[in-house]
């Protein structure tokens, strides 16, 4: 037993933990959980917890359904707000999914990202991520196809003192900090009821775990405040969508590999090649970074959402933005990818972004000139005339590009690649076969 496992066993006893939730995600990023009592956790560290993998989306076939969840002790945290007496009696750990022979499961999104971070480490890099996560707070969460009612009428940076949940952000930050997730900023976003909370940077795998924990806690804190939270990319036709703008950087030891003090943009060759890789492969990875039918309502009609594979300095309409808040600060040199939405599976999304960037570095991609236009205000023909490559305009379009992508297939692994495509084509067909109210209003009288 290693020191981290011993720490968990001591913490269970010292903090009177009654239950441990073992978390993992399916291929679409839905959080799964099994609860065990402290007496079983030592055995779980040794042999894992067996479960029926065929019952989880994309994990295994019925004929080979035995699957094992092995808890990762480095992710141990006590859950806040679990009991009426405010005494935490529940903890959680993320799990790595294994096969009975002890090999990592090819269906586990966490293992997919682990493989990509290992590929980066082989090149001497550690990838750090800092996401800005947007979501809506609503008074209701109807399931009849009608729009939810936002909790307030506030806009960007508004205090929104008349909202239904005035203490929500305070409670949310307290919950996140209690679980070891550091928060940098929080504020009201541009849409009514829309919030943004920015997490302090961490390595890519830790951050993907943090994003999953974030989504769980935000919904729980909202419920405790008498409201609801939704991470749907674009729940309102007339209001902005919810993004998960993600800042990324590569470090070589303690040195920021993206910084070059002698470059006009303070960007190193490594940074430029990384950006070029993301731009080159952005269309084919879009089905992963924007995995829902609704994701493309945000990309096509959202506020400051990228429509083309461009980059720019401080240009919030570009796919990749280079922040210029602290141009001379070495450790702050990073890039911001603005295509991701808040409903992406963070393990898979960060995997394909890292894979695209690393390919740009390996193959020495050339970075085009930065875009200075407001890309979202340009017509499609204007973008084409300026040499910009459009991002997919629908899930259908994105899936067709993904199907042809060697990069995505290699990054996800054959199993996740095939299951993801199969699931998403099913979603698209279900969406496409609808007869919508718009069609009935427009065509019924023909």
Q: Which tens digits make up the pLDDT trace of 112-155?
A: 999 999 999 999 999 999 999 999 999 999 988 899 999 998 88
CA distances from 423 to 27, 110, 287, 353 (A): 9, 19, 12, 21
Q: Is the dihedral of CA 232, 237, 242, 245 positive or negative?
A: positive
Does 3.40.50.300 match the CATH number of domain 115-376? no
Q: Averaged over 296-307, what is the pLDDT?
A: 88
Can you give the residue ranges of every domain in the chain? 3-107, 115-376
Percent of the chain residues past pLDDT 70, beyond the cut: 93
d(CA 52, CA 287): 28
The 8-class DSSP code of residue 366 comes to P
Please, are residues 117 and 127 in contact by the beta-carbon 8 Å criterion? yes
Please, are residues 407 and 284 in contact by the beta-carbon 8 Å criterion? yes
Q: Is the dihedral of CA 277, 283, 285, 288 positive or negative?
A: positive
Q: What is the pLDDT of residue 162?
A: 55
d(CA 70, CA 73): 9
pLDDT in tens, 210-240: 999 999 999 999 999 999 999 999 999 999 9
Q: Decide which of 1.20.1560.10, 3.10.20.70, 3.40.50.300, 3.40.190.10 is the CATH code for 3-107.
A: 3.10.20.70
Mean pLDDT of the chain: 91
pLDDT at 425 over 60: yes
Q: Averaged over 371-400, what is the pLDDT?
A: 89
Tell me which residue of 275, 340, 335, 280 sits closest to 306, measured CA to CA. 340
Residues listed for the chain: 446
Tell me which residue of 192, 186, 183, 208 sits closest to 153, measured CA to CA. 192
pLDDT at 61 over 50: no
115-376 shares the fold of 3-107: no
Q: Averaged over 71-80, what is the pLDDT?
A: 95
The 8-class DSSP code of residue 367 comes to P
CA distances from 11 to 7, 15, 69, 95 (A): 6, 6, 21, 18
For strand 183-188 and strand 255-256, is the pairing parallel, antiparallel, or unpaired? Answer: unpaired
The 8-class DSSP code of residue 385 comes to H
pLDDT at 434 over 70: yes
Indicate the pLDDT class of residue 106, thresholds 50, 70 and 90.
confident
Q: What is the pLDDT of residue 57?
A: 63
CA distances from 361 to 274, 322, 365 (A): 6, 17, 7
145: left (phi over 0), alpha (psi -120 to 50) or beta: left
424: left (phi over 0), alpha (psi -120 to 50) or beta: alpha
Q: What is the pLDDT of residue 327?
A: 65
Residue 50's contacts (CB-CB under 8 Å, 6 or more residues apart) are 66, 67, 68, 69
pLDDT at 58 over 70: no
pLDDT at 38 over 70: yes
């Amino acid at each position: 037993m290693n020191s981290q496992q011993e720490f968990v066993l001591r913490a269970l006893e010292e903090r009177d933990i009654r239950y441990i939730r073992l978390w993992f995600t399916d291929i679409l990023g839905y959080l799964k959980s099994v609860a065990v009592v402290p007496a079983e956790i030592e055995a779980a560290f040794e042999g894992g917890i067996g479960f029926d993998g065929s019952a989880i989306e994309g994990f295994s076939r019925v004929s080979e359904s035995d699957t094992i969840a092995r808890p990762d002790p480095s992710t141990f945290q006590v859950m806040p707000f679990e009991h009426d007496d405010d005494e935490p009696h529940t903890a959680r750990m993320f799990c790595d999914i294994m096969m009975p022979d002890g090999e990592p499961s090819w269906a586990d999104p966490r293992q997919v990202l682990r493989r990509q971070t290992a590929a980066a480490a082989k090149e001497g890099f550690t990838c750090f991520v800092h996401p800005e996560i947007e979501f809506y707070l609503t008074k209701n969460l109807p399931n009849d196809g009608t729009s939810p009612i936002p909790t307030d009428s506030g806009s960007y940076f508004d205090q929104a003192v008349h909202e239904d949940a005035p203490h929500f952000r305070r409670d949310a930050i307290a919950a996140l900090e209690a679980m070891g997730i550091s928060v940098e900023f929080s504020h009201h976003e541009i849409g009514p009821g829309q919030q943004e909370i920015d997490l302090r940077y961490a390595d890519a795998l830790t951050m993907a775990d943090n994003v999953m924990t974030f989504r769980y806690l935000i919904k729980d804190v909202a419920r405790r405040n008498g409201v609801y939270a939704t991470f749907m990319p674009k729940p309102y036709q007339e209001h902005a969508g919810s993004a998960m703008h993600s800042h990324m950087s590569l470090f070589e030891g303690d040195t920021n590999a993206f910084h070059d003090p002698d470059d006009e943009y303070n960007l190193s060759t490594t940074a430029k090649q990384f950006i070029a890789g993301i731009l080159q492969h952005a269309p084919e990875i879009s089905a992963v970074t924007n995995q829902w039918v609704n994701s493309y309502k945000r990309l096509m009609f959202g506020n400051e959402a990228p429509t083309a594979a461009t980059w720019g300095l401080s240009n919030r309409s570009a796919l990749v933005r280079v922040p210029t808040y602290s141009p001379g600060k070495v450790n702050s040199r990073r890039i911001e990818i603005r295509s991701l939405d808040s409903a992406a599976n963070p393990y898979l999304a960060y995997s394909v972004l890292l894979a695209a960037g690393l390919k740009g570095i390996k193959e020495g991609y050339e970075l085009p000139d930065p875009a200075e236009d407001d890309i979202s205000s340009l017509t499609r023909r204007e973008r084409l005339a300026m040499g910009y490559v459009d991002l997919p305009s629908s899930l259908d379009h994105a899936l067709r590009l993904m199907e042809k992508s060697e990069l995505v297939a290699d990054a996800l692994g054959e199993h996740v690649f095939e299951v993801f495509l199969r699931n998403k084509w099913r979603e698209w067909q279900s969406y496409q076969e609808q007869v919508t109210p718009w069609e009935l209003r427009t065509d019924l009288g023909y």
